[in-house]
Amino acid sequence: MSGDAPDARLGPPAETDHVPRHSLTVSVLAAAAEHTDCTFSNLALAGRVDLEKLFGGTRYEPGTGADPLAIKRGRLFEEILKKDDYAELLNLLYEHGVAIETEARIARLRDLPAPAGRSGLEVRAEATRLELVKIARRAWDAPTLIDGAVIRARIGGADAYFEADGLAAASNGALHVLEAKSFPLIDGRCDPIKLGAACAQAGLYAALVRAQLIEDHLPAETVSDSGFIVLPKNTRLGRAVLLRQNLSYHIRRAARLLELAHPDEAAVKRLAGRSFPADGTGAAERIAGLSHLMDEAGTHYRPECLEHCAAAKLCRERAYKAGRLGILGDQASREASGVESFARLLELAAGADPSEHERQSALELTRARKLYRRALKGAGP
């Protein structure tokens, strides 16, 4: 652990502290949106700390990540969509009432000559900004589709660059976010969980673009609440289909996450002198450092964390050892609201004096205990 000032540790990433960092993508933000109530996770997001790397090689290493076959399928579907200058996609948009010019203009920002790494992202972010200005001002040369947009946003007090996986379609000065996914729509149905995740990503993209427009003194409403999820029409990838979605809920939630992604002042003060472990430290030392930081910052484990957060295996073990009710999930926590642990639950059921916020749960618990005893008596010989 180095002796830097606290703001260099838990604020914007310092290039010299050897903490592994990752570049932020819309999917990283979408995953973080699932646990805005966890201070440890918010700090990791604000500092762009690569938790997956920090847990790598330890017994808490997260699962294998995305299925390589699904990634391949996704890339293939993207290639199919790009065919003939997105002709099929543009037709589908037209059929859904998005007024598309006969001469569609595609802004292919991935093809811009730009250096690799961060400076390349800066070039694409500036190009994205200029294309967005054209759309908002209804310029004659405004693009119909933006492919490979990069949006700049302030995260944790520093500039972060988000590579949007999706596309943006513009018509008559309005912009619709499009998110292409390779899971199929069969008989008009698709996996609702995957659809929800795609909408969350599209909502984040829309919120980032709105924030960019506001920064440029342009109307945020240029970005429509209505976006599209692009799916293969069946298990073969040959044909595409569009699902129009109202993204307003996801956009609001994403805007809140962008506010939260700044380090919490109180937490930074409290954690002065602490840091995420550096890359290259031994596995045991890394886990001890992370555990300590979790104690100090605070976590909020629930089973859903296993799907979104690289720290979930360690958090699950810690929650289990501490007997925290959160391990049973949100419903159980709600039913015993105000009660922190299994041990306290048993004390209250046995008649311990409840605190103000435990009172309602204590009432339910003593009632349940009486019923249980009565049932046991009734079942006796």
Binding site for ligand SF4 (CB under 6 A): 35, 38, 40-41, 299-301, 305, 309, 311-312, 315
Tell which residue, 56, 33, 13, 48, has the closest CA to residue 287: 56
Shortest distance in whole angstroms from residue 65 CB to ligand SF4 = 16
Q: Which is nearer to ligand SF4, 194 or 300 (CB)?
A: 300
Shortest distance in whole angstroms from residue 200 CB to ligand SF4 = 15
Dump the DSSP string for 117-173: SHHHHHHHHHHHHHHHHHHHTT-TT--SEEES-EEEEEETTEEEEEE-SSEEEEETT
Positive or negative CA dihedral for 171, 177, 180, 183? negative
Distance from chain centroid for Cα 176? 20
Positive or negative CA dihedral for 297, 300, 306, 308? negative
Residue 377's contacts (CB-CB under 8 Å, 6 or more residues apart) are: none
Q: Which is nearer to ligand SF4, 29 or 109 (CB)?
A: 29
How far is 89 from 239, CA to CA, in rounded Å? 10
Q: Which is nearer to ligand SF4, 170 or 197 (CB)?
A: 197
Shortest distance in whole angstroms from residue 228 CB to ligand SF4 = 30
Angle formed by the axes of helices 248-260 and 192-215, nearest 10°: 60
Q: Which is nearer to ligand SF4, 45 or 198 (CB)?
A: 45
Q: Which is nearer to ligand SF4, 39 or 222 (CB)?
A: 39
User: What distances in angstroms separate CA 20 from CA 5, 7, 87, 285, 372, one per listed residue?
Assistant: 18, 17, 41, 15, 52
Q: Which is nearer to ligand SF4, 307 or 335 (CB)?
A: 307
How far is 108 from 152, CA to CA, in rounded Å? 18
Shortest distance in whole angstroms from residue 330 CB to ligand SF4 = 12
Strands (E), the chain: 106-108, 145-147, 150-155, 158-163, 167-171, 174-180, 226-232, 240-246
Shortest distance in whole angstroms from residue 68 CB to ligand SF4 = 24
Q: Which is nearer to ligand SF4, 41 or 222 (CB)?
A: 41
Q: Which two tokens stand for residue 359?
A: 């009172």
Q: Which is nearer to ligand SF4, 37 or 85 (CB)?
A: 37
Shortest distance in whole angstroms from residue 254 CB to ligand SF4 = 17
Paired with 170 in beta bridges are 175
Shortest distance in whole angstroms from residue 306 CB to ligand SF4 = 8
Shortest distance in whole angstroms from residue 46 CB to ligand SF4 = 13
Q: Which is nearer to ligand SF4, 90 or 305 (CB)?
A: 305
Q: Which is nearer to ligand SF4, 40 or 183 (CB)?
A: 40
Shortest distance in whole angstroms from residue 52 CB to ligand SF4 = 12
How far is 209 from 175, CA to CA, in rounded Å? 10
Q: Where do runs of H (alpha helix) occur along 137-275?
A: 192-215, 248-260, 265-270
48: left (phi over 0), alpha (psi -120 to 50) or beta: left
Question: Whose structure tokens read 């099929």?
Answer: 88
Single-letter amino acid, residue 318: R
Shortest distance in whole angstroms from residue 51 CB to ligand SF4 = 8
